Structure 1
Amino acid sequence: MTAAARAQEATTPSEALTLDQQVNEIFASATGPFVSLIFAPFPGTEFPWIVMWLVVAATVFTLYFGFVQFRFFGHSIALVKGDYSDPDDAGEVSHFQALATALSGTVGLGNIAGVAVAVGIGGPGATFWMILAGLLGMASKFTECTLGVKYRNEYPDGTVSGGPMYYMQKGFDELGLPGGRILAILFSVFCILGALGGGNMFQANQAHAQISGIVGDFPGWITGLVFAAVVFAVIVGGIKSIAKVTEKVVPFMGIMYVGAALIILIVNYDMIGAAFGQIFAGAFTGLGVAGGFVGALIQGFKRAAFSNEAGVGSAAIAHSAVRTKEPITEGFVSLLEPLIDTVVICTMTALVITISGQLIMDEATGNFLLNEAGTAIATVGDTSGVALTSAAFGSSISWFPYVLAIAVILFAFSTMISWSYYGLKAWTYLFGEGKTTELVFKLIFCVFIVIGAAASLGPVIDFSDAAIFAMAVVNIFALYFLMKLVRIELTSYGARLKAGEIRKYATA
């Protein structure tokens, strides 16, 4: 949500609003150049260079590892089921819990509002490019999460710490390359900023907006305090506590949301073929949307990149806590994330929007508009994105807007607890391991929940979003140097799996 939109929604006295605006202006002037740099488009285009950075890397990894996301897909499912899980391996959580924790950090408002924005601007054809980018992104997750486990720190008490900051330092040292420590510090700083902003304040702010929209206006700090208390109760127990929550919340969220979408698709089964026709036709022609084919491609790639975070490096932190002695196995598990997040959930949203009839094209501008409200689709944070998804589902399920509000709250909560862990591991990398160090960060994180719910700090959110994608700049740069180490792991494991040397365990 832009700073202007936040200002319009503010219900605080004029003095407080003025103070918020002053904070906004000061912060925007200080951080604006950094935000503009990260999200700047290529000259003469509207294509953000950071999106191309992510998509090109995903393509390189897909080709380099021989389409690993398809060759080992069945084995990935077996690993998540626990078929190859040895309970005596080092680590803190199961393959499924690690996957659920990482998914809880990516499945969120982007799947609801973000897809509506992509389809609203790029037309149904944006869905095709979103799916393609999601499939390619599976290889990026595979690469970074394999390295996360390979170079994690394992401590005597059974806890572990891992992620890009560790494989940057250790991997570069192993290859005799300079600069690994510098890259690790940069990544950690960006990760902490992203965790406090996009992974925290933005989520709390949007959750409060949804709640107040149902029960009426009330101070945001009340929502913030409630969220902070619940989040702290979960994260104070560490990754095991977080995983126990996410393994229950994430499947529930996914089943609830995808289930509602399936109901609508089943009821309108005769329109599914036409919807896919619009998606494929729009992918290469644009179906008259602004920007045509290029406009559809840009919006699809952008939504996929912003939704599944493949290449950002955040998921590698969660997956590093898995119980395994084979780093490559968590790479296989992690490649399922973009499939679930982008190819399944985002596509469901796009299909429902396409067949709902809630989208009409303005012949004068070539842009898609909301059918009932008649307002143009704008940016991800704007309520029009959520409004389009809500209207699309509500056209077939009258009570779905209430379910959507619950989903947004759950998405916000699950994202916050996952990003608290990401920020925590970056924090302990910089300031050292220890209960006191961890508690300090967890308290800071919860304070920022209250601030995010109560304040109008648009530029802070913009800056934190930029910090998250700055993580990708550092991370992918390192992955290009380290991917040869992943291929060694892949070749070895693949040969042993084919020879039947990988032990399979009985599952409960």
Structure 2
Amino acid sequence: MKPNLLTSLAVMIMPFFGFAKELSIDEKIEKEFKPFADWIGSIVFYPVSIVGISVPIVLIVLLLGALFFTMYFKFANVRLLGVAFNAAKGKYDAVDHHSVDTVAGDPTPGGDVFESPQHEGVVGEVTHFQALTAALSATVGLGNIAGVAVAIAIGGPGATLWMILAGFLGMSTKLVEATLGVKYREVGTDGKIYGGPMYYLKQGLKEKNMMGLGKVLAAIYAVFVVGGSFGGGNMFQSNQAASQLKVLFDVKDGFWFGVIMAILVGAVIIGGIKRIGQVTEKIVPFMGILYVGAAFVIIFMNVDVVPEGLGQIWSSAFGNKAVVGGVIGVMIQGFRRAAFSNEAGVGSASIAHAAVKTRFPASEGIVASIGPFVDTVVICTMTALVIVITNIKSNLFIYGNLDGSSVVLNSSGKSVGGVDLTSVAFDSAIPNFSLILTIAVILFAFSTMLSWSYYGIQGWKYLFGKGRVSDLTYKGLFLLVVIIGASSSLNSVVEFSDSMIFAMVFPNVLGLLILAPKVKDELKRYLKAIKE
């Protein structure tokens, strides 16, 4: 893209910055944009009826794809979990980072000797652990706190079991995505890595004599990832973090919070994936320990009702007395939350994983499979357990007792959103937990914006070139949207952007299915290398 065109685009966006605080502007944008957003959403989330229950077609694609990959790779998601954690810890770095060549006069040909330099022939910008935390920072967020609460409230305790199952299935999809992300990545002259679905759709399908289809799918994906990065990966995050802060401190305006958040985000993303990896490897473990640690405390405090809670989860998952639509309804709620939380099949995480330092694409694919395990099997499950056992203890709400999309509290009859329900559940066991939850929400939002900025800029550069002007234009727009999101209520814009995130599923999963044999070959090569 030419500089003058980039400048024109920036000028088009600038008015929103100046009027972000004026509600009337929000309302005008909402009115004009809502029909278009609704139309896009109706396509992406087109409902298919299963035993009388509407299921978004994108959810069906995600789950069937995950089930296929789990079977195709012979349950590698569970079978190789130990290998995944060892690789993330760096146990196999000698395999990843060394290249042993036989040279004249070598007394130990093929051995690990002085002439086998570290990082010879190895490209990448971050470690396995940094790539994993960068990807996790995009998925571990408000969905784990708010979305799980609503899923449990609607589907009953049994949704937890199906959520765990979907998390395990999603691990297989992440393995495929990340392996392909590394295998087909491109390396710039400055050593920077460019990878993700845009590249494996284009290059991988070209190898399958589908060059035309690959180019089209790659371009479509790039457009979707840019749109998603501005909405669900940015505006929604800053808006929800600002909302929590407003409630806690009775602040009326989120504009200045948005400015501060934009400055902090800017300080990190200007440094690229290396800086993002350095920050997320510290933030993600901290916020995970903070949140999961609090959940463990509550479970321990209510250990006497844990057996009853587990019994409710099991019986509700299979029993005929499930709140909405029997066992299928409960299953769908659990699957929906898991799929939408860990984003397995969306393909975005492969962009972060592509930047890893390794010679074996499958090494990062295996590490990437940890993502849905941590995001869904651990963190989402902890949220669900806390809600189920505190509801037994304190009778907070009745499953299925909803007002629109909100949950009705027994104590006051007040309707609360997902994050508020989680807050009420935690507060019932730990007084004033709202403060800790606010800190967690802000950290989750901050880390999510960091990773989605990287995803978005990769799509942007794929479309408009990899020059400095293109880079700075995207980052400038991204930071402006942080402020707009914190100080406005552009609901339809966010809904549209969320639709774009899940629209990424269709070109991505199609490519994954076509390229699965390539992943199987890479998996065999890596497992053979670490064995030998």
**What TM-score do the two structures reach when normalised by structure 2?**
0.87
Question: 2:323–2:399: 8 Å Cα contact kept in structure 1?
Answer: no
Q: Which residue of 2 aligns with 1:116?
A: 149
- 1:282 paired with 2:290, answer no
Shift in alpha-carbon separation, 1:327–1:362, aligned structure 2, 3 A: closer
Task: Map 1:296-445 to 2 at 5 A.
Answer: 296-357=330-391, 358-361=395-398, 369-375=408-414, 383-445=416-478
Question: 1:120–1:369: 8 Å Cα contact kept in structure 2?
Answer: no
Shift of 1:491: 2.3
Question: 1:286–1:294: 8 Å Cα contact kept in structure 2?
Answer: no
Shift of 1:17: 3.1
Amino acid at match of 2:36: A
Question: 1:208–1:453: 8 Å Cα contact kept in structure 2?
Answer: yes
Q: Which residue of 1 aligns with 2:226?
A: 192
Question: 2:407–2:418: 8 Å Cα contact kept in structure 1?
Answer: no
Shift of 1:140: 0.3
Per-residue CA distance 1:31-77 (angstroms, 9 max, x = gap): 32111111122144221111111011000000011101111111111
Deviates more, 1:219-228 or 1:345-354: 219-228
Deviates more, 1:248-257 or 1:218-227: 218-227
How far, CA to CA, are the matches of 1:230 and 1:384 in structure 2? 28
CA RMSD of aligned residues (A): 1.9
Query: Which secondary structure state, in structure 1, belongs to the residue aligned with residue 497 of structure 2?
Result: helix
How far, CA to CA, are the matches of 2:147 and 2:399 in structure 1? 21
Equivalent of 1:37, from 40, 43, 56? 43
Shift of 1:286: 5.9
Shift of 1:293: 1.4
Shift in alpha-carbon separation, 1:175–1:217, aligned structure 2, 3 A: same
Per-residue CA distance 1:190-245 (angstroms, 9 max, x = gap): 00000000000000110110111111133222111111111001000000111111
- 1:201 paired with 2:235, answer yes
Query: Which secondary structure state, in structure 2, belongs to the residue aligned with residue 257 of structure 1?
Result: helix
Per-residue CA distance 1:315-362 (angstroms, 9 max, x = gap): 000000000010000000000000000000000000000000244327
How far, CA to CA, are the matches of 2:204 and 2:410 in structure 1? 53
Query: Number of residue pairs matched?
Result: 480
Per-residue CA distance 1:336-390 (angstroms, 9 max, x = gap): 00000000000000000000024432799899743334345xxxxxx52112111
Shift of 1:314: 0.4
Unaligned runs of at least 5 residues, structure 2: 1-18, 98-117
Amino acid at match of 2:284: V
Question: 2:324–2:400: 8 Å Cα contact kept in structure 1?
Answer: no
How far, CA to CA, are the matches of 1:432 and 1:361 in structure 2? 53
Amino acid at match of 1:386: V
Shift in alpha-carbon separation, 1:306–1:364, aligned structure 2, 3 A: closer
Amino acid at match of 1:280: W
Shift of 1:18: 3.7
Shift of 1:260: 0.4
How far, CA to CA, are the matches of 1:348 and 1:18 in structure 2? 41
How far, CA to CA, are the matches of 2:322 and 2:289 in structure 1? 35
Query: Which secondary structure state, in structure 2, belongs to the residue aligned with residue 218 of structure 1?
Result: coil
- 1:28 paired with 2:24, answer no
Task: Map 1:173-192 to 2 at 5 A.
Answer: 173-177=206-210, 178-192=212-226
Q: Which residue of 2 aligns with 1:81?
A: 89
Deviates more, 1:80-89 or 1:421-430: 80-89
Shift in alpha-carbon separation, 1:469–1:131, aligned structure 2, 3 A: same
- 1:47 paired with 2:55, answer yes
How far, CA to CA, are the matches of 2:471 and 2:371 in structure 1? 27
Shift in alpha-carbon separation, 1:364–1:198, aligned structure 2, 3 A: closer
How far, CA to CA, are the matches of 1:279 and 1:341 in structure 2? 19
Query: Which secondary structure state, in structure 1, belongs to the residue aligned with residue 345 of structure 2?
Result: coil
How far, CA to CA, are the matches of 1:339 and 1:355 in structure 2? 22
How far, CA to CA, are the matches of 2:508 and 2:400 in structure 1? 43
Amino acid at match of 1:132: L
Q: Which residue of 2 aligns with 1:254?
A: 288
Question: 2:153–2:400: 8 Å Cα contact kept in structure 1?
Answer: no
Task: Map 1:137-156 to 2 at 5 A.
Answer: 137-156=170-189
Task: Map 1:461-480 to 2 at 5 A.
Answer: 461-480=494-513
- 1:243 paired with 2:277, answer yes
Amino acid at match of 2:386: V
Shift of 1:303: 0.3
How far, CA to CA, are the matches of 2:412 and 2:515 in structure 1? 50
- 1:19 paired with 2:19, answer no
How far, CA to CA, are the matches of 1:199 and 1:365 in structure 2? 28
- 1:105 paired with 2:135, answer no
Shift in alpha-carbon separation, 1:362–1:52, aligned structure 2, 3 A: closer
- 1:131 paired with 2:161, answer no
Shift in alpha-carbon separation, 1:168–1:93, aligned structure 2, 3 A: same
Shift in alpha-carbon separation, 1:463–1:286, aligned structure 2, 3 A: farther
Query: Which secondary structure state, in structure 2, belongs to the residue aligned with residue 47 of structure 1?
Result: strand
How far, CA to CA, are the matches of 1:375 and 1:304 in structure 2? 27
Query: Which secondary structure state, in structure 1, belongs to the residue aligned with residue 48 of structure 2?
Result: coil
- 1:225 paired with 2:262, answer no
How far, CA to CA, are the matches of 1:284 and 1:345 in structure 2? 23
Question: 1:349–1:389: 8 Å Cα contact kept in structure 2?
Answer: yes
**What TM-score do the two structures reach when normalised by structure 1?**
0.91
Question: 1:204–1:412: 8 Å Cα contact kept in structure 2?
Answer: yes
Query: Which secondary structure state, in structure 2, belongs to the residue aligned with residue 301 of structure 1?
Result: helix
Question: 1:107–1:307: 8 Å Cα contact kept in structure 2?
Answer: yes
Q: Which residue of 2 aligns with 1:5?
A: none
How far, CA to CA, are the matches of 1:321 and 1:375 in structure 2? 47
Shift in alpha-carbon separation, 1:363–1:311, aligned structure 2, 3 A: closer
Deviates more, 1:350-359 or 1:201-210: 350-359
Shift of 1:480: 0.9
Query: Which secondary structure state, in structure 2, belongs to the residue aligned with residue 240 of structure 1?
Result: helix
Amino acid at match of 1:305: A
Query: Which secondary structure state, in structure 2, belongs to the residue aligned with residue 46 of structure 1?
Result: strand
Shift of 1:290: 2.3
Question: 2:156–2:399: 8 Å Cα contact kept in structure 1?
Answer: no
Query: Which secondary structure state, in structure 1, belongs to the residue aligned with residue 397 of structure 2?
Result: strand
How far, CA to CA, are the matches of 1:370 and 1:295 in structure 2? 22
Equivalent of 1:64, from 66, 72, 84? 72
Q: Which residue of 2 aligns with 1:4?
A: none
Amino acid at match of 1:216: D
Shift of 1:271: 1.5
Query: Which secondary structure state, in structure 1, belongs to the residue aligned with residue 53 of structure 2?
Result: coil
Query: Which secondary structure state, in structure 1, belongs to the residue aligned with residue 316 of structure 2?
Result: helix
How far, CA to CA, are the matches of 1:232 and 1:90 in structure 2? 26
Question: 1:123–1:286: 8 Å Cα contact kept in structure 2?
Answer: no
